[in-house]
Amino acid sequence: MKRRSFITKVGAGGSAVLFGTQTLAARQDTPIKPYFYGKPDHFKDILSKSGQIILRIEIRALESISPVNAKVALQVVKGKLQRTKNYFLENNAGPAQLKTGVTSCLVNKNYPGVIVAWIDQPSEKTIIRLSLNKLKFQFELSELLNQHEIKFDDNTIVLTANYLLDKEIGFIEPKDMGIVEPKDDFTIAIFADTQGGDPKTPQSHPTRMKIHNAFCEDTINRVNELDPQPAFTLILGDVVDNQGEKQHFEAMHDYFKGIKSPLLYALGNHETIYAAKFTPGYHMEEFNNYFAAQKAVNGLELLLYSFNLGKWHFVVWPDPLRSNFFKTHPHYFDWLEQDLERHKDRPVMFMQHVPSHPIGIDPLINYAESVVVKRTLLDILSKHGNVKFIFSGHVHIPIRASFKTAVDYKGMKMINLPAAGYRPRAFGEEEWHGGPSQGMLVADIKDTEAQVYFKTVTEEIYPYPQELPAFDEREYLLWLSPKWQLPASSQIRNGSFEEGLNHWSKRFVYTEDENPSNRMEVQKIARESNYSALYLFSRKRDYATPGQDRLPQSINHLCQNIELSGRPQNLNFEYCIDGINTDPKAWAGAFVWIEGFNKGFKLLNMAYWAGKAFGGLSDRFYDNPSVGLQHFHLSDIPDQWHQVSLNIAADYEKGGYGYNDLNIDRLVINLGTWHINDGDSQPFGIFFDELHFSGKASESTVGDILVEVSPDEKMWWMRKYEPFIHIAGEHRYHMASKGRILL
């Protein structure tokens, strides 16, 4: 069957300009019609709005998990190479040269590099000539149109070429979204995480969805009561719950009909299926339901867009939080950079679903964008100094925590919004007013200034301060730096902690005002040879309100980067479990986590545990899927200092691998505590001291006892005891109540 015409699919141009202004009355009566993104049929369909071809080139190793050198050269015949840019080449990549299009990088099979080339004066006969190390090949753009994606390899590295489109990107006039141009003073309203839908839809979470829907109705009532009405209301991602099913969009469409102001959507992580893929070619069908719903509310068919209103510039950024989204859409960063350049004389509000500032609970380390995405984005946003606000959602943060985590980063006020529908995650503290936390953010704009406040469904109003605390990137290097790029030395520095935490890099951890659930501090202790030790402590976060979304926490750790040449000496340290503040039966523990890197590629992953071990210890963005985490057990005897000597290389080889084959040049030493964050308090505290490398290679020991692999009874992982499911909107994974007495 012939494919649907690409031009037809985008509604003869992909913009509301072609449909006229979407009025409120039209929105109320407009059903959600099926939408198909489709594939281009004609050469003009793969041209950008400026008439260019945007070419994406991905370089990836075929099999190797170790770094492989790749040198790529690009030449254009019967066209003009206008410019090139590198993206995601984090591992000592050389810059691409404008005229020659040459770049060098290191890649493996899991972490590719991406080059984007902009080609002027293209035609179907334009020839793309590429060289990959010593291999040369070429193709015409007509072939790319027909195949959508072209691959070549030299038996070591595979190079993939595809076109990039910009039909879902655009600068929009406010009238195209039904927005009436205001005077210099106006308000806007933002809903984060409405996350509702039709509870009868198969595979949905009916109880929590009904709760979300009810709060959405209340939030809609609050926005309709504003006087004057907002110039627009924005849903800041996660419009629907689950995985973007059409029924959920239809249900939310019925609710949103009641909003009096023009309505805008931003893309979140619940608008597509969790397993969404964006290849081969420029595969966009995963967004069909989102596009259909967006078109029904305001006529747009866009993922990334911006507009001017009053004296301000607004940017709406997509955040589907899928592992390969930004790797397959790198040109979004370039468009953003150019858009902000064109509007550098206007104050800017930037809207994104997933926060780019640290929140300090475990899910928001691995359940956020990668370090390189955050760094790339924030470098662009801070370039001109005119981005005044960055608003985000995703977290379902309580109001109190929203205020405590709001920061100023290079002049940009970064605020994470409580949800409009979803109940808050467990941050361990009661709300200032006792709850509920649901509601909306209102920005009251006067000329080039803005005051923002949060209004709850029960009409409490919380103004955010005009001045926010500055985020000190130097204190929390792990937020915007990969571990392997941390300052490194050939020996552990300050392993005795006599200099406090100097030379150690720590995570940002959300800290409760009273009785913190996680502690990291250097304490003075009475010992014969030294006077300081690191103390780490974790327990279940307080205020366990039913329906709060709580997950295991292993965020309470710090680390140091060590340069290596050859096999490491034994890692020696001392530890003492705090018996007074530790439950010996707790699903909690402490770890010494060893990560080994070769040129930025993680090839070694080992953890030594006191107490219970957590199988989910990870760094999602730098963990190598081909490198499993090896677990070893240390002594659990409390109130006694244990002398430990670890032969890291020999322990790694117990898994049947050869350490010398890895060519490790960086070891990252992590010290931390973890907690299941469920059930009873189950505290766990531990002291660490005297870390250093020394001595001849010997077997790993704790005192005189050999270190063994962690036994099953000492391990906990998700779904070990029962399925990881939602019951009334709350995760349950620890144990059922049967057989327990709840007091």
pLDDT tens for 726-736 read: 776 666 666 54
- pLDDT for res 31: 79
Q: Residues 159-168: what's their mean pLDDT?
A: 97
Closest CA to 73 of 115, 126, 110: 115
Q: Is residue 395 part of a domain?
A: yes
Q: Tokens 């949060």 belong to which residue?
A: 454
Task: Tell me the average pLDDT of the chain.
Answer: 90
Same domain for 355 and 432, yes or no, is yes
pLDDT in tens, 230-254: 999 999 999 999 999 999 999 999 9
Q: What is the mean pLDDT of residues 702-719?
A: 94
pLDDT above 80 (res 27): no
Average confidence (pLDDT) over 288-292: 97
Do 513 and 457 fall within a single domain? Answer: no
Binning pLDDT at 50, 70 and 90, where does residue 92 land? Answer: low
Count of Cβ atoms closer than 10 Å to residue 503 Cβ? 17
CATH of the domain at 510: 2.60.120.260
- Which residues, at least 6 apart from 25, have a Cβ–Cβ distance to it below 8 Å? none
* Domain end marker among 463, 494, 529: 463
Contacts of 485 (CB under 8 A, 6+ apart): 561, 600
Domain co-membership, 492 together with 447: no
- 552 and 654 co-located in one domain: yes
Residue 293 counted as domain residue: yes
Q: Are residues 156 and 248 in the same domain?
A: no
**What are the pLDDT digits (tens) for 635-670?**
999 999 999 999 999 999 998 889 999 999 999 999
576 phi and psi angles, rounded to 5 deg: -145, 120
Assigned domain for 444 exists = yes
Measuring CA to CA, which residue among 649, 563, 573 is closest to residue 604?
649
**pLDDT range class, residue 719, cuts 50, 70, 90:** confident
The residues, any chain, with a CB within 8 Å of residue 440's CB and separated by 6 or more, are 189, 190, 191, 219, 222, 223, 233, 420, 454, 455
Residue 30 lies in a domain: no
User: Of the ranges 381-385, 422-426, 707-711, which one carries the lowest mean pLDDT score?
Assistant: 422-426
Where is average pLDDT lowest: 103-107, 195-199, 251-255, 354-358? Answer: 103-107
What digits encode the pLDDT tens for the residues 373-392?
A: 999 999 999 999 999 999 99
Give the range among 186-190, 200-204, 419-423 with minimum mean pLDDT: 200-204
The whole-number pLDDT of residue 622 equals 81
For position 97, what pLDDT does the model report?
A: 56
Quick one: pLDDT band at residue 548, thresholds 50, 70, 90?
A: confident
CA distance 79 to 128: 9
Cα 688 from Cα 203, distance rounded (Å): 46
Is 353 within 8 Å of 153 (Cβ atoms)?
no
**Would you state the pLDDT for residue 8?**
34
Does the structure show a pLDDT above 50 at 737?
no
Q: Can you give the CATH number for the domain in which 428 is found?
A: 3.60.21.10
Dihedral of the alpha carbons of 548, 553, 558, 564, in degrees to the nearest 10: -140
- Please state, in angstroms and rounded to a whole number, the distance separating the CA atoms of residues 682 and 675: 8
Q: Which of 9-18, 29-38, 219-228, 730-739 is predicted most confidently?
A: 219-228
Instruction: Specify whether 133 is located in the same domain as 231.
Output: no
- Is residue 497 in some structural domain? yes
- Mean pLDDT across 71-75: 93
Q: Is 87 within the bounds of a domain?
A: yes
Count how many domains the chain has: 3
424 burial class (0-12, 13-18, 19+ CB within 10 angstroms)?
A: buried
Range of the domain at 208: 175-463
Average pLDDT over residues 154-175: 96
Q: Are residues 375 and 490 in the same domain?
A: no
Q: Is there a single domain that holds both residue 71 and residue 216?
A: no
Same domain as 499, residue 615: yes
pLDDT in tens, 123-161: 999 999 999 998 999 999 999 999 999 999 999 999 999
Indicate if the pLDDT at residue 99 is higher than 70.
no
- Classify 26 as helix, strand or coil: helix
At which of 164, 187, 217 does a domain end? Answer: 164
Identify whether residues 159 and 278 lie together within a single domain. Answer: no
Lowest mean pLDDT among 326-330, 599-603, 688-692: 599-603
Per the rule left: phi > 0, alpha: psi between -120 and 50, beta: everything else, 688 is beta
| 552/147 Cα distance (integer angstroms) | 45
Average pLDDT over residues 473-483: 91
Residues 591-624: pLDDT tens digits? Answer: 999 999 998 899 999 999 999 999 999 987 788 8
User: What was the pLDDT predicted at 93?
Assistant: 44
pLDDT higher at 343 or 695: 343
| Same-domain check for residues 672 and 534 | yes
Asked if residue 208 and residue 296 are part of one domain, the reply reads yes
| Reported confidence tier of residue 90, pLDDT bands at 50, 70, 90 | low
Q: What is the CATH number of the domain that holds 116?
A: 2.60.40
Give domain status of residue 22, yes or no. Answer: no
Tokens encoding 684: 């766990």
Q: How confident is the model at residue 680 (pLDDT cuts 50, 70, 90)?
A: confident
pLDDT bucket at 739, cuts 50 / 70 / 90: very low
Q: Would you say residue 131 lies in a domain? A: yes
